[in-house]
Amino acid sequence: MNEATSIAAARGAACRALLNRVHAIQRSDGITAASLQQIKGLLVELASHGTSLFPDEDFAMPEAQGRNHMLDPAADDGLGLYLTISLPGKEAAPHDHGIWCINAGLSGKEVQRFYHRTDDGKRAGFATVEQIAETLVEPGTAIAMADHDIHSTLVVGDRPARALALYGYALNRFPAVVFFHPQFKTCRTLPSKRQAAHA
C-alpha cells in the first residue's frame, strides 16, 4: 500500500467513525442545541488532523469560486460530510438551508455572520433580517447551526478557506434553500432537491 492509498484509507476510516458517532447521538438525543455542540466537538477533532488526513493534493481546487468534495460516498438519505474549498473573496448572501449544519476550519479564514428574520413571513418574496452575531472560522474553530438558522459567508485573506462541513442531509437531497437580500428586503427560494430525488 503506497502512502496516498494509506492516507485515503485512514481518512475513510476516520470519517466513517465520525458518522457512526453522529448517528448514535441522533438516535439517543436527537438534534438539539446540546447535541449539536457535541457533534461540533467531534468535527473539530477530525479537522485537527489537518493535512495528515486531508492533504491539499487529494482535493482539487475549485474551477470557479468553490467546490465540495464528498467524504462519504455511501451517503444516500443520511448525513452529508464534505471537504469544502472556497477561494478568497467568495461570499454567499444570507440564507437558510433548512437543515442543521456544522463547519470546522482546516485552513484559511471564513467570516460567518448570523441573522434573525424580523418580518412575519406572510408576504411572498418579502423578508427583513438583522445581523445578530459574527464569528471567524479558521483552524481549531467551528460553527454549528440548527434547522432554519440564517447565515452568510465571506472568505477573507489571500488563502482559500478549507473546511469540513457536516449537514443533516447530503447536498443532493437538500430541502428548499431560502436566500435573503437585506438591501432590497426580498427573499427567493431555491427548489427542494429532496422532492426531485424522490420524484
CA–CA distance, 71 with 166 (Å, rounded to integer): 10
Question: Out of 89-93, 174-178, 183-187, 194-198, which region has the weakest mean confidence (pLDDT)?
Answer: 194-198
- Report the pLDDT averaged over residues 133-139: 98
| Confidence band of 36 (pLDDT split at 50, 70, 90) | very high
State the pLDDT at residue 1. 59
Q: For the whole prediction, is pTM greater than 0.75?
A: yes
Where in the chain are the domains?
3-198
- For 3-31, the pLDDT digits (tens) are 778 999 999 999 999 999 999 999 999 99
List Cα–Cα distances, 179 to 65, 126, 131, 157, in angstroms. Answer: 18, 11, 14, 25
What's the rounded mean pLDDT across residues 160-174? Answer: 93
Spatial separation of the C-alpha atoms in residues 175 and 192, rounded to whole Å: 4
Task: For residues 88-100, give the mean pLDDT.
Answer: 95
Read off the pLDDT of each residue in 118-139 and give the average, rounded to a whole number: 97
Whether 89 shows a pLDDT value over 60: the answer reads yes
pLDDT for the residue 194: 60
Superfamily covering domain 3-198: Jelly Rolls (2.60.120.10)
- The pLDDT mean for the chain works out to 93
- For residue 72, pLDDT over 90 is answered with no
User: Which residues partner with 190 through β-bridges?
Assistant: 177
Residue 74: pLDDT band with limits 50, 70, 90: low
Q: How confident is the model at residue 195 (pLDDT cuts 50, 70, 90)?
A: low
Report whether pLDDT(197) > 50. no
Of the candidates 6, 21, 19, which has an alpha carbon nearest to the alpha carbon of residue 58? Answer: 6
pLDDT category at 198 given cuts 50, 70, 90 is very low
Give the integer Cα–Cα distance in Å for 177 and 190. Answer: 5
Per-residue CA distances from 40 to 21, 32, 130 (Å): 12, 12, 25
User: For residue 71, is pLDDT > 80?
Assistant: yes
Q: Are 100 and 150 in contact (CB under 8 A)?
A: no
188 close to 179: Cβ distance less than 8 angstroms: yes
Tens of pLDDT, residue by residue over 40-52, are: 999 999 999 999 9
